[in-house]
Structure formats: structure tokens, C-alpha cells
Amino acid sequence: MKKKSVLITGGTGFVGKHIALKFIDEGYEPILYDVAATEMELLEQTKGKWRFVTGGVEDWVKVLNTVRENGVEGIVHCALPALPGSGETTKSNFDGCDNLLNACRLEKAKFVYVSSNAAYGHRPDDNPLLETDRAPIFEGAQAALYEYGAMKHICESLTAMYHAVHGVDSVSVRFGWVYGPGTRRCWYPQWFLANAVAGIPAKLDEGGDHKADYTYVKDAAQGVYLAFTVRPLKHRLFNITSGKKVSALEVVETVRKVVPGADVKIGPGLMKKGLGNPAVHPVQAGPMLVTRAVEDLGYTTTSLEQGLRETAAWFRTLARIPVAPDPN
């Protein structure tokens, strides 16, 4: 009997690979649709259970032909968009998302759009972030800071429209800050953990009071799979993250539990810029509640400590731990 297949855009990226592994565990054959195959070690043990197709989401003909040729049950869209200000933002976001949704419309396939907490924008109040909240609209120079979030919000709306107007079985999921095995990005909390496992002191002068909603990458993959398979659905937009706000100081303390003797420290205050990322991050003081995902999908979460333990174990299998330069 032919295996069920799912097309995953950005399938060779950090999150895409974990989504692929989850679908493989559930008996699917993922089609990894991406512009290039890089850092494929995470999928090495599952060779033969997935296929790679080179392509961009803005290539309508390639998208439709790939869907038809592989007879996919649906698409999970987690390809990273072009960077804000690159001149390609609309093409890789709106146009690409529209191409994928239109292919699903024509082929009667499912669609899951991987969105982000960035869609909530700047939320400095302590109120929980709910799927029913409207994102604030910014004016003037401030708006440029949220181009990424605006595009995520627009694509969520497009995804909802295709369901309401065209009957596409489409869903959006919002992640927080994703961490876990398989990424070379050393932002919070992986910057501290990577240095701790490598035995390198790591200190930041400020940022300890900055709180974030961290999403363990295996939880993200679980949430996507559930959004793809659980039917019927009461809702079409879900927060998929921890549901808890954790300060950078708590992250550092947890890293010390996971790696006893780790020389990691952080000073008080808010994080002004992301590690390895020059962008200024909007403040979101309240947690992204996952009540809807828990009740509707049966979604479960992994504790930060357990997620960091599993990530530390992965770091120890590497010939070289990916430690980012000290940002101080």
C-alpha cells in the first residue's frame, strides 16, 4: 500500500526537519520542498523515508506540479520568508502562500500555515495572548519594526480566507521562540546551553528580565501534526508553544541544572537585541495561552528543563558544538 505523503516547504530547515520526523513516525512519507538541502544530519537515520524536491514557493508551476506528481494529502508551509527590506518580502510571503493554498484548492489537499508570535506585534501589557486578539496597527517609522509580523498576519488571513471562501481545509499555528536539537542558531536559550556544554563561560551584561514564550521544537512538530490530522476542528488558528513566560534569568538557572558547574550569567534588564540578530524585538509581556490547542487538538508541552536536557544530549553528539560569538 502506498504511504501517505505530505509536502513540507522549508523542509530542510530546523523546524521543517522536525516536522518531517514527526510525520515519518506517524507513517507518512514527507516531501521536503526547499531551495537547497543543507545540514541534513538530523534526517540521516531516516534516509529512504523522505524525498527532497528543489523549488521555491514563489514558483507556481513547480508548486502545482510537485503537489500533483506526489499525490500529497496536504502541505505544511514553514519555509522562511525573505528578510524584511530585501525587496522579496511580498513575493516569498504573500505570493508564495497564495500559490500553495491555490494548489490545495485545486487538488483538494489540506494546508497548515506555520506562523509566529510576531503576528501579535508589540504587546507590553501582561494580558495573555489569545488567538482571538487583533494585532495592533502601527504608524510611521515604528511600523518598519514589524514587517515580519505583518506578513505573518497577512498570510494567516489568506489561509482563513481560503477555508471560508474556497473550502480549503486550512489551519494556522503560531509558534513562540523555537529551540531544540538540530539548530545552529544560538539565541536564548541555546546560546547559554551551547557554551555550557562546550565548557565556555557565557555572560551577558543585561537581558535577565526579558521574558519569552519558548517553543520546544518537538512540541512544535507535534502541534503541526495534530493541526493537520485532528478532525473535526472547532477553530482554524492555534497557539503552539509552552503557554508560559520564562525570563532569561530562569533560562540561565535551568541551564545550570542541566549542566552542573556551567559558568553562565546574565545581568538585569530587558534584551535590547536578539543574540545573533540585529532586529529589535517587540515586547510581549503576556503568555501565549495554549488552552485552545490542548482542548481541541490534545496538544501537550515539554518542560524547559526537559527540552534543554534533550538539546544538551544532542550537542554532545556533535564533533563541534555551534557556539556563537560573545555579543558583549
- Residues of the chain scoring pLDDT < 70: 1-2, 81-91, 136-146, 186, 272-282, 324-328
pLDDT tens-place string over residues 183-204: 877 677 889 999 999 999 999 9
Among 194, 179, 209, 196, CA closest to 285: 209
265 sits in which H/E element: strand 264-266
**291-325 CB burial, b ≥16 within 10 A, e <16:** ebbeebbebebbebeebbbbbbebbeeeeebebbe
Residue 150 belongs to domain spanning? 4-177+215-239
Asked if residue 77 is part of any domain, the answer here is yes
Distance CA 240, CA 176 (A): 7
CB 309 within 8 A of CB 223: no
Asked if residue 327 is part of any domain, the answer here is no
Q: What pLDDT does residue 229 have? A: 98
pLDDT tens-place string over residues 134-169: 776 665 545 545 678 888 989 999 999 999 999 999
Q: Structural domain tally of the chain?
A: 1
DSSP letters of 208-257? TT-EE-EEEHHHHHHHHHHHHH--S-S-SEEE-S-SS-EEHHHHHHHHHH
Asked if residue 89 is part of any domain, the answer here is yes
Asked if residue 250 is part of any domain, the answer here is no
Distance CA 30, CA 33 (A): 9
The CATH number of residue 120's host domain is: 3.40.50.720
Q: What pLDDT does residue 80 have? A: 72
CB 126 within 8 A of CB 193: no
Distance CA 80, CA 160 (A): 20
Asked if residue 255 is part of any domain, the answer here is no
